[in-house]
Chains A and B, each alone.
Chain A
Amino acid sequence: MTRVPIRDVQDVQEAVQTHPRLLSVGGGSKPALSSPLISPSGSSPDDTPVTLLDVSALRGVVEYDPGEFTFTAGAATPVAEISAMLAERNQYLPFDPPFAARGATLGGTVATGLAGSMQYRFGGVRDFLIGARFVDGRGQLIRGGGKVVKNAAGFDLPRLMVGSLGRLGILTEVTFKVFPAPAATATVYAEFPSLELALEALIRLTRSRFDLEALDLVPGSLMISEGSISEEEPRTQEGSVPGESRTEGRPASGATLLARIGGVADGLPARQRQVAEFLTGGNQSGASAPPVSVSPVLVSTSGTPDHDVTHWAAMAEMNWCPEGWSLYRVPVTPARVAALDRSWSAEGAIRRYTSGAQTAWVAWPGEESQLNRLLRAAGLGALRVDGPPSRQPWIGTIPGGPFLERITSALDPDNRFDLPGIWPRADVSHG
């Protein structure tokens, strides 16, 4: 398998024009995606040799104007570098890109469309990407979008790049809008005797008037104790299912809600109390929905501010997924979670539901084919974001359809970015 290093955008254009099949890698923090579909001999299944395009040189901040709340950077710029730069000005990427500590890049984040728990508040990658430069399958450099936060001119090409997995072009530069970061954060933890009851509370919270930064649901107990919240160490516990560990007096079938709030530090304790009271059916101020029918077993609003930050940063690294397991991201809705959770837990999967149970993260121990069957039956699709390299990034119901086929045929007429299995080839499409 050839690996071609890239010095600049012209190199990318040239490589696209001279190699029949390419896959771009930012460096590979998501090896399940940046090295899929390639046989050990280095060919794609149809025997066209695959060239790995190492775009890691396309890194660095091109422009950052804090007053404008936008920045432009090379596609291979690490997310961590950007977050540090923004933090100096009390700004942040509100969609909470995961895997920063592992070296995730902006381009890889856009290409996978990955957002973390904090997307609950203001939306995902697509809501913050305002410009993208990419090289299409003809080798043309395309400048999509712009550098202003509002722009309705022409087709929204940046949005199309979100989640495209490199199939529609190689990103070289991206522009994001950013927001002022909350001055401080705090979290309310509430443990319920069953997942169903936790879901009921979650739905009421999503309909309430609390401005939550994140709202996650974790099956099992998080072992809340005075002043700190600890989880079982997943990777050291052979055979046990982390996140469902039994603690004295607490049901293993229960579930924990994590509601994070942000804002001026002074106001946080009182706001935490309001959320807690809402959950326990007490004071309803600030709420539009009735209190939940069953109070949580345990509510904790403790945890120091520092602890809060490290806790959520750890969540964004998905460290709870055991080594060697595959991790899938499945778009869901709260109403579907209870049934899905039953079928997944029966197979020994570890689950987390983030962003108000709109995203399921499923760590899968066994054969992918079984998860694939379950997803198909549910009409859902999933992106495999971590785990050993495999032959396809999607399982379940693969997104796309004729609209995507036609778009693909326009941007990549010679199938240069087509690693079979990503989605249907351009030549099966219309016209």
Chain B
Amino acid sequence: MTRALSSSLSGLRQLFPPDRILTTPARMAVYGSDALAALNQLPGAVVIPETATEVVETVRFCHRNGIPFVARGSGTSLSGGSLPVAEGVVIALNRLNHILRLDPDERIAVVEPGVVNLAVSRAAEPFGLYYAPDPSSQAVCTIGGNVAFNSGGAHCLKYGMTGNHVLGMELLLPDGTVTEVGGDSRDSVGPDLNGFFVGSEGLFGIALKTTLRLLPIPALYRTILGAYDSLEAAGDAVTAVIASGLLPGAMEIMDRLAIKAAEVGARAGYPLNAAALLIVELEGEARTVEADFTRLVEVIRTSGAREIRVANNADERARIWKGRKSAFSAVGRLSPDYIVQDGVVPRGRLGEALVGIERLSRIHGLEVANVFHAGDGNLHPLILYDGRVPGGLERAEELAGEIIALCVELGGSITGEHGVGIEKLAHMPKMFGPAELACMEQLRAAVDPERIANRGKMLPGGLS
């Protein structure tokens, strides 16, 4: 610990009782990494505020002393977004977990940053409402983390990701300024500052309060599962569904390895000998959904599916989703280690992307399981490796990098929902030119001249 930090820590100690400021390696260990477990870094201190005022005081303290800080929700970031900065302060926001207001007539919820995603839908359910974005991690991840990464989920095809559901925020800028953007209305005047803050990965400061829009729980879900003999056939079925003019709420594909993982890990009961599974779900008003579902079944039937399962009730629906929702963690049963990758390609080039991934997987001699949000071209290749083998991680990372480069080549993006964090810093120049990177750095510097908020993340220039 440098002298600057240790002397200023005494100032920080005045803001928190001893049990809510952690400074020893043993007590800070759990904060040393996020879900990108390959990276680990102990901070100078971890503070555990219980009120917004304590968060504000902490950030002001950091700003006065030039100490970097990292906001942290549940630490489920898959890109190293909540990795601590050495000599910096981690601000753990989990205890700010109150839903401050839930107004069913206005259909909004105003929440603290540490509120868990699923808790919002649970609270809204008695009023017939829910919060739409549903990351697979929704039982643990926080709204603050969702805001920072513009998180999505399987059901974001129709109503969008986190950014489409944030109406207003109280922001704590990195110099301690507290300011409001947006409001309670679904409409707004002026630049879309909500939309600009969402996805900024903590570089613009901390979301202290967030106003979320709630939607009525759909009257009916109809879910269909199709099993295919090849990934291409499943990909073509996606194209056919889109071309038919239907607007599903979710459209997901799993490949052979992912199906196997789901079976081993979650006893999903999927057709085991299939090369690919496609799940398509319609949601909405009963009459429309029933009519559309008849058409959907027809599209799937003529798409070369060798087996079709239709969910006829909530239980059967849950069974179809169970395997998909647990696919990430289930892959852990197949391999000692794995990297969850996240890239986007134009929907029409899914087939090419999958063939490319297969080729890269062969070249590198590493297995890749594919689980993806097919409806919006968002791939999640899971790269299996053994970290105990020397060079194993490096080989897996190399393959991951080549997959991402492939996504960019095909006209897509280096990330659809997991963010850049630290993991993808090196890929930013593939996606953006010098003018864009400079522009983003200027924006960052204008908001945070000392670059104390989540230093070293998202912007490659921010490393220095």
CB-CB under 8 A from A154, the residues of chain B are 420, 428, 431-432, 436, 440, 458-459
Does B66 lie at the interface of the complex (its beta carbon under 8 Å from any beta carbon of A)? no
Give the number of A-B contacts (CB < 8 Å). 284
Q: How far is the CA of A123 from the CA of B218 in the complex (A)?
A: 17
Does B99 lie at the interface of the complex (its beta carbon under 8 Å from any beta carbon of A)? no
CB-CB under 8 A from A286, the residues of chain B are 219, 285-287
- Among A261-299, those with CB < 8 Å from B are 263-264, 266-267, 270-271, 274, 285-286, 288-289
Contact of A127 with B164 at beta-carbon distance under 8 Å, contacts A150-B413, A209-B285, A211-B288 already known: yes
A394 touches B189 (CB 8 A): yes
Type the 1/0 row for A398-423, where 1 means its CB is closer than 8 Å to any CB of B.
11111110110111000000000001
- Among B139-183, those with CB < 8 Å from A are 149-150, 152, 156, 158-161, 163-164, 171, 173, 175, 177, 179-181, 183
Contact of A126 with B129 at beta-carbon distance under 8 Å, contacts A155-B443, A381-B189 already known: no
Residue from A127, A143, A162 in contact with B191 in the complex, judged by beta carbons closer than 8 Å: A162
Does B447 lie at the interface of the complex (its beta carbon under 8 Å from any beta carbon of A)? yes
A331 touches B183 (CB 8 A): yes
Does A153 lie at the interface of the complex (its beta carbon under 8 Å from any beta carbon of B)? yes
Among A136, A359, A407, find the residue whose CB has the most chain B CB atoms closer than 10 A. A407
Residue from A144, A160, A271, A334 in contact with B287 in the complex, judged by beta carbons closer than 8 Å: A271
Chain B residues touching A, range: 35 or more
B128 touches A410 (CB 8 A): no
A160 touches B196 (CB 8 A): yes
Residue from A149, A156, A359 in contact with B377 in the complex, judged by beta carbons closer than 8 Å: A149
Does B200 lie at the interface of the complex (its beta carbon under 8 Å from any beta carbon of A)? yes
B431 touches A160 (CB 8 A): no
B105 touches A203 (CB 8 A): yes
Q: How far is the CA of A113 from the CA of B239 in the complex (A)?
A: 31
Could you tell me the distance in whole angstroms from the C-beta of A134 to the nearest C-beta in chain B?
A: 10
Could you tell me the distance in whole angstroms from the C-beta of A147 to the nearest C-beta in chain B?
A: 6
Task: Kindly report which residue of chain A lies nearest to residue B446, judged by CB atoms.
Answer: A410
CB-CB under 8 A from A208, the residues of chain B are 216
- Among B239-261, those with CB < 8 Å from A are 239, 242-243, 245-247
Contact of A264 with B291 at beta-carbon distance under 8 Å, contacts A140-B435, A150-B373, A404-B190 already known: yes
Residue from A122, A124, A382, A423 in contact with B159 in the complex, judged by beta carbons closer than 8 Å: A122
- Among B253-293, those with CB < 8 Å from A are 284-288, 291-292
Contact of A411 with B443 at beta-carbon distance under 8 Å, contacts A140-B435, A207-B104 already known: yes
Does B445 lie at the interface of the complex (its beta carbon under 8 Å from any beta carbon of A)? yes
Type the 1/0 row for B181-202, where 1 means its CB is closer than 8 Å to any CB of A.
1011111111111011111100
Q: How far is the CA of A394 from the CA of B189 in the complex (A)?
A: 8
Residue from A167, A274, A402, A423 in contact with B173 in the complex, judged by beta carbons closer than 8 Å: A402
Residue from A67, A115, A155 in contact with B239 in the complex, judged by beta carbons closer than 8 Å: A67
Residue from B288, B417, B433 in contact with A143 in the complex, judged by beta carbons closer than 8 Å: B433
Could you tell me the distance in whole angstroms from the C-beta of A112 to the nearest C-beta in chain B?
A: 9
Does B419 lie at the interface of the complex (its beta carbon under 8 Å from any beta carbon of A)? yes
Does B348 lie at the interface of the complex (its beta carbon under 8 Å from any beta carbon of A)? yes
Task: Kindly report which residue of chain A lies nearest to residue B199, judged by CB atoms.
Answer: A156
Q: How far is the CA of A420 from the CA of B53 in the complex (A)?
A: 35
Residue from B160, B196, B411, B435 in contact with A148 in the complex, judged by beta carbons closer than 8 Å: B411
Does A315 lie at the interface of the complex (its beta carbon under 8 Å from any beta carbon of B)? no
A399 touches B348 (CB 8 A): no
Does A142 lie at the interface of the complex (its beta carbon under 8 Å from any beta carbon of B)? yes
Please name 12 further chain A to chain B contacts, defined as beta carbons within 8 Å, in addition to the given A154-B459, A160-B196, sorted by A numbering.
A146-B411, A148-B416, A155-B200, A156-B195, A207-B128, A209-B216, A286-B219, A331-B183, A394-B190, A401-B179, A411-B439, A423-B190
Q: List the 7 closest A-B pairs by CB distance, nearest first.
A: A399-B190, A159-B195, A288-B128, A410-B446, A331-B185, A209-B219, A331-B187
Residues on A facing B (Cβ under 8 Å): 65, 67-70, 90, 113, 115, 119, 122-124, 126-127, 136, 140-144, 146-157, 159-164, 167-168, 179-181, 183, 203, 206-211, 263-264, 266-267, 270-271, 274, 285-286, 288-289, 329-335, 355-356, 358-359, 381-383, 394, 398-404, 406-407, 409-411, 423, 429-431
Q: What are some 23 contacts across the A-B interface (CB < 8 A)?
A: A67-B242, A126-B192, A140-B435, A142-B435, A150-B152, A150-B376, A150-B416, A151-B344, A152-B415, A153-B420, A157-B440, A162-B191, A163-B190, A180-B246, A181-B245, A266-B291, A288-B219, A329-B187, A331-B188, A334-B105, A403-B197, A404-B190, A407-B447
